[in-house]
Structure 1
Amino acid sequence: MESDNKNVILVAYDFTSIGDIAIENAVKMAKILQYKVCILHIINKTSRKNLKKANEPLESISQKLEKTAQSIKKEHGVDVDYMSRKGSIFRAIAEVSKEINANFLVFGTHGKKGIQFLLGSFAIKLIKSCPVPVFVAQQPAKESKFADVVFPLDMEAGSKQKVKWAIALHKQFQSKFHIYVDSYPDEFIQNRLRADLRQVRNIMDKNNIPYSENYSPKKGNFSEKTVEFAKEIKADMIMISTDPDKITWSLFGSPDERTIYNTEKIPVMCINAQDLRVIIGGL
């Protein structure tokens, strides 16, 4: 089934507990925004193997998706579509997000552990392949209203540009942004960052967006300090900018990975530096 609503939250779903977390977050968002949810299941080698193990036919996928959609409609009153697609998870999700003109992809994860350390980061691969931003959730949204957002500001590409998405996020969720500014020992670089901060402040003031200014200590890892700050203020999410051409997997954890897979399980909105639209997914 294809969604015909221009405001759609896409959820990649694999019938696991992590997929349930993604759906829960997507439904929570949909209720606040009055958007439609589209549940997507990718049929690949893993799903076929699971069907064979459970002695279930391929047709059972549509039946399960329909049952899940009906349950959401009945319990939450949210409009829900569902669909399945054969192929690579990364390619298929990107294709579907374009086809249905999705606004978000909500994606659930247990965090980077076990086999992911050896084979690479699933989240990083998905974010790189997706043409729109990705909301990564590690736990149910519960009472979150997605209103308190940490806005890290450093000298990385796209850091200040994500303020354009902040405007949209504020309109949708009435969000308040907590700007968290990095510290650099080099005075020239620090002055450039101050100039970026002035630009961000001016844009937020112009659009009547509430915000606070906060500064990180000079010592320590900025990604880790950002997560600590988000925990301290009980933020609903951290918003980061990711560049598909530059974001990489690291055995020891890249800055983006340390934020995305943070052990405090704070949700992360990954804004594509090349495309400021949105997507949410659970796998």
Structure 2
Amino acid sequence: MMETGQADIRQSDAILVPVDFTDVSEYAIDHAMALAKIFEYRIYLLHVISKRQKGTDKEKAAEERLIRTSSELIKEGKVRVTHMVRDGNVFKTINSMADKIRASFIVMGVHGRKGIQHLTRTYPYKVACRASVPVLVVKDKHDHVGFQNIVVPVDFSRRSIQKITQAIRFAKVFAARVRVFGFLSSENKAKIINKEALLKSVNDIFQEKDVPVTTDLVVDPGSAWPDALLTFANSVNADLIMIVAEWGGRIQDIFSSNHTERILDKSDIPILTIMPCAEDLESEATTSKRLLVTPFIDPFGLIVKPGNM
């Protein structure tokens, strides 16, 4: 039974968990179980095999392992579990199955540059930037229920700040504190004053919405921003880093492929990528001379549409 939220926060009730029977996929299952118990979601376990393995003993063995795993989860956690074995390209199959079951999340376990067994190191990035639903990337078991300390990086563009401001509503259901992170590689005083003013405006918006928030500007000419972000997140004991992704597979401008992959690779803190929904991007494109805060595909139903704020 959901206890941490007050409103009906459900958009759909499916969590997709890619499983390859390694430790890191067990970590993903662990996180998915915690979320499923809170929100009464159904977990879908997906194992992907190659086309040449279809109809072989390997497919049969995978099916049997998934049946055992599903039974254990149902017995242990009293959650609903479905399992699937599909053949094809791994990350394309994951994303297509997420669309087919209308998943609220993909919860994915990875292990640094080594990646999931038989997958390349770009695997989490490929899934995250091409998925049409939020992707939670984890590297260890969860040590508490939900998230209490969420870091949200901004690139100071008007659009980024607007969208991230809405994205942090995700934190409300967990009664979490949000740490908005800004970064400058220049010590130019005028730039610092400007960015501090922007962060102050973001802070004010959060306070108006009763979201516990702090804003931090890190100025470090000697660091790349992904490294500065991870150093900051570790220093404040963050339990989630939230990245805003663009529709159509393009990560928000601040997140180049190298930067995004670097974060997913180096962070031991869970990473959540969030996608805006297509209809709202279309609405944004046709709206002129007025403030439009772009909503996201929102697994918890927390986002307030423009005009209802």
TM-score range, shorter chain: 0.7 to 0.9
**Secondary structure, counterpart of 2:20 in structure 1:** coil
Change (3 A) 1:203 1:228: same
Q: Residue 27 of structure 1: CA displacement?
A: 0.9
Identity of aligned residues (%): 26
Change (3 A) 1:189 1:104: farther
Residue 207 of structure 1: aligned partner? 209
Assess if the C-alpha contact under 8 Å between 2:150 and 2:171 holds in 1. Answer: no
- Whichever residue aligns with residue 240 of structure 1, its letter is I
Pair 1:37 & 2:40 matched: no
Assess if the C-alpha contact under 8 Å between 2:91 and 2:127 holds in 1. Answer: yes
Residue 148 of structure 1: aligned partner? 149
Assess if the C-alpha contact under 8 Å between 2:109 and 2:116 holds in 1. Answer: no
TM, length-normalised to structure 2: 0.74
Q: What do residues 62-106 of structure 1 show as CA deviations (whole Å, max 9, x unaligned)? A: 322121111111111222122222222222222221121111111
Pair 1:277 & 2:297 matched: yes
Change (3 A) 1:248 1:182: closer
Count of matched residue pairs: 263
Q: 1:16 aligns with which of 8, 13, 22?
A: 22
Q: Residue 45 of structure 1: CA displacement?
A: 4.9
Q: 2:13 aligns with which of 7, 13, 18?
A: 7
Q: 1:235 aligns with which of 234, 238, 249?
A: 238
**Secondary structure, counterpart of 1:216 in structure 2:** strand
Residue 101 of structure 2: aligned partner? 100
Assess if the C-alpha contact under 8 Å between 1:134 and 1:278 holds in 2. Answer: no
Matches within 5 A, 1:186-225: 193-194=195-196, 196-198=198-200, 200-219=202-221, 220-225=223-228
Matches within 5 A, 1:72-221: 72-113=73-114, 121-143=122-144, 145-155=146-156, 159-160=160-161, 161-167=163-169, 169-183=170-184, 185=186, 193-194=195-196, 196-198=198-200, 200-219=202-221, 220-221=223-224
Q: What do residues 235-267 of structure 1 show as CA deviations (whole Å, max 9, x unaligned)? A: 111111234235654xxxx2222221225x111
Assess if the C-alpha contact under 8 Å between 2:17 and 2:29 holds in 1. Answer: yes
Change (3 A) 1:157 1:16: farther
Residue 262 of structure 1: aligned partner? 266
Q: Which runs of 5+ in 1 are unaligned?
A: none
Q: Residue 144 of structure 1: CA displacement?
A: 5.1
Question: Which of 1 and 2 has higher RCO (CA within 8 Å, sep 6+)?
Answer: 1
**Secondary structure, counterpart of 1:14 in structure 2:** coil
Query: Quick one: distance in 2 between partners of 1:113 and 1:221?
Result: 23
Query: Quick one: distance in 2 between partners of 1:208 and 1:77?
Result: 34
Assess if the C-alpha contact under 8 Å between 1:107 and 1:137 holds in 2. Answer: yes
- Root mean square deviation, CA, Å: 3.1
Q: Which runs of 5+ in 2 are unaligned?
A: 1-10, 279-295, 300-309
Change (3 A) 1:139 1:274: same
Query: Quick one: distance in 2 between partners of 1:78 and 1:188?
Result: 54
**Secondary structure, counterpart of 1:98 in structure 2:** helix
Q: Residue 128 of structure 1: CA displacement?
A: 2.4
Assess if the C-alpha contact under 8 Å between 1:158 and 1:241 holds in 2. Answer: no
**Secondary structure, counterpart of 1:182 in structure 2:** strand
**Secondary structure, counterpart of 2:17 in structure 1:** strand
